[in-house]
Amino acid sequence: MDGTFSENDLSRVVAADKAHVWHHLSQHKPYETSDPRIMVEGKGMKVWDQHGKEHLDGVSGGVWTVNVGYGRESIANAVRDQLVKLNYFAGSAGSIPGALFSEKLISKMPGLSRVYYANSGSEANEKAFKMVRQIAHKRYGGTKHKILYRDRDYHGTTIGCLSAGGQEERNAQYGPFAPGFVRVPHCLEYHAADQGAPVENYGEWAADQIEQVILREGPDTVGALCLEPVTAGGGVITPPIGYWQRVSEICKKYDILLHIDEVVCGVGRTGTWFGYQHYGIQPDMVTMAKGVASGYAAISCLVTTEEVFNLFKSDASDPLDYFRDISTFGGCTSGPAAALENMRIIEDEGLLENTTKMGDYMLDQLRGMMDRHAIIGDVRGKGLFLGAELVSDRDSRTPAAEKQVGAVVADCMAQGVIIGATNRSVPGYNNTLCFSPALIAKKDNIDHILSAVDSALTRVFG
Ligand code: PLP
């Protein structure tokens, strides 16, 4: 830290925070007797809190966001230059960074052609859901309106997105939800056997479960299937072999739009520009947010095919025949300006290649740790998006206790290393440690994170 933060400033900030800030996803009772953590500064993969304590960030800003690392002056400069030129105009008009970033983005997404700007992952997903509903009205007299979503996937925090939410803890007490959202089973291979699923050809089998739901609901009522390419907060679930190919065939067979939620995987996290690109499939709609501008500005995008776009081309004789949607701050120019520079950095610094290399290394090392720690039941992930599922018994794959998982995260934090754990979704599935270091991570950063985890596991589990 640069030392400009005096003791006086510190106590004022902490007092103001405690008096007025309602922290996200937090219980505030503990702050009656202790202070909240306030992050002050960041550089590369490191962040410093109000006490000047240095943390190595193993989760890119806590929620898979700061893909290119902290303190990027070139992004700050690109945003500043754009803000003094033109900070905003409503998205019914175009902007220079909006046009240039869409061109760049589309160059990485063959088969897709249109970018709709918004601010958050939830918002981009809501817009995709609205498009599906409108297409149902325009083409099918309103019938093909249902949206399928998967157990353990998460698509955002609004009522619409929670209606498509597969994580119970996030949904509890927020209902009633929107109608027309239907859940399909997850595809977590590690738990196939203990949940009565076949281990042979599990990928195809899991995809076929989706087809069963489509047949039950009636294919002429189902408009879209919305899935994360690799499930994030629901357990770092990598798809089993054969899964995505079969899912894609099923969507084609029943004329169902395939909407892939790349809010976490998008823009490099898994070592390709987008997670779905590992699986040789072609989506109709893709949403993205976190890594698009690495948190330097708020931006999310919904990207569609030209075919989807053409369905909304206005017919002058029908005043309702266009996508009647706006996002006020989707017109902020800071987002695409930051996103454009963010993509340049990823390309020029070879960060996709680095992600694959460092991700493979970290995956191997975590698997190696299974020899020393029986508590690790499974290690999975793609690129720098990894998880280690903790189980109290490897044979039965019984989840480790939530308190102990939390104790590992807290122990790492005390050592100055930030890691995460999956959300408490279906009780018993909160037991996966999450790792998502910035795409700039080097071997010694990965080793540092792993050594903290190693000693935390020894301390907590012996
Ligand atoms: N989709 C996925 C897969 C996410 O993990 C999240 C957030 O964590 C969202 C959507 C929602 O994004 P936001 O918090 O930007 O609304």
> Which residue among 149, 150, 263 is best mutated to probe the pocket of ligand 1, counting the most ligand atoms within 8 A of its Cβ?
263
Phi, psi angles (nearest 5°) of residue 145: -110, -10
Q: How many distinct helices (H) and strands (E) make up the chain?
A: 13, 16
The C-alpha torsion from 220 through 223 and 226 to 229, rounded to 10°, is 80
Q: Is 221 helix (H, G, I), strand (E, B) or coil?
A: helix
Q: Which atom of ligand 1 is nearest to the CA of 290?
A: 15
Q: Are 426 and 152 in contact (CB under 8 A)?
A: yes
278, HSE (Cβ side, Cα atoms, 13 Å): 26
Which protein residue has the closest C-alpha to ligand 1 atom 10? Answer: 155
Tens digits of pLDDT across the chain (462 residues): 555 667 778 889 999 999 999 999 888 999 999 999 999 999 999 999 999 999 999 999 999 999 999 999 999 999 999 999 999 999 999 999 999 999 999 999 999 999 999 999 999 999 999 999 999 999 999 899 999 999 999 999 999 999 999 998 889 999 999 999 999 999 999 999 888 899 899 999 999 999 999 999 999 999 999 999 999 999 999 999 999 999 999 999 999 999 999 999 999 999 999 999 999 999 999 999 999 999 999 999 999 999 999 999 877 778 888 999 999 999 999 999 999 999 999 999 999 999 999 999 999 999 999 999 999 999 999 999 999 999 999 999 998 988 899 999 999 999 999 999 986 545 556 799 999 999 999 999 999 999 999 999 999 998
Distance 154 CA to ligand 1 centre (A): 7
Q: Are 417 and 446 in contact (CB under 8 A)?
A: no
37-66+351-461: CATH topology is Aspartate Aminotransferase, domain 1 (3.90.1150)
Which protein residue has the closest C-alpha to ligand 1 atom 5? Answer: 264
Specify the CATH number of the domain 74-348.
3.40.640.10
Which protein residue has the closest C-alpha to ligand 1 atom 13? Answer: 121
Distance 275 CA to ligand 1 centre (A): 15
Q: Which atom of ligand 1 is nearest to the CA of 265?
A: 3
Tokens of residue 313, six digits: 């081309």
Contacts of 142 (CB under 8 A, 6+ apart): 136
Identify any residues that bridge with 88 across adjacent strands, giving them in sequence order.
Answer: 332
Distance 457 CA to ligand 1 centre (A): 29
Distance 261 CA to ligand 1 centre (A): 9
Question: Which whole-number Å values give the CA distances from 444 to 55, 58, 345, 451, in the listed order?
Answer: 15, 12, 21, 10
pTM for the full model? 0.97
- The CA distance from 275 to 383, in Å, is 10
Report yes or no for ipTM above 0.90.
yes
Distance 229 CA to ligand 1 centre (A): 13
Question: Which whole-number Å values give the CA distances from 446 to 6, 108, 268, 358, 450, in the listed order?
Answer: 33, 28, 17, 8, 6
Q: Which atom of ligand 1 is nearest to the CA of 123?
A: 16
Among 371, 434, 372, 433, CA closest to 400: 433
**pLDDT at residue 3 in the model:** 56
Query: Ligand 1: which residues within 6 Å by Cβ?
Result: 63, 120-122, 125, 154-157, 228, 232-233, 261, 263-264, 289
Distance 2 CA to ligand 1 centre (A): 33
- The CA distance from 125 to 154, in Å, is 10
Among 42, 86, 44, 98, CA closest to 69: 44
Q: Are 37-66+351-461 and 74-348 the same fold in CATH?
A: no
Sequence ranges of the domains in the chain: 37-66+351-461, 74-348
Distance 287 CA to ligand 1 centre (A): 10
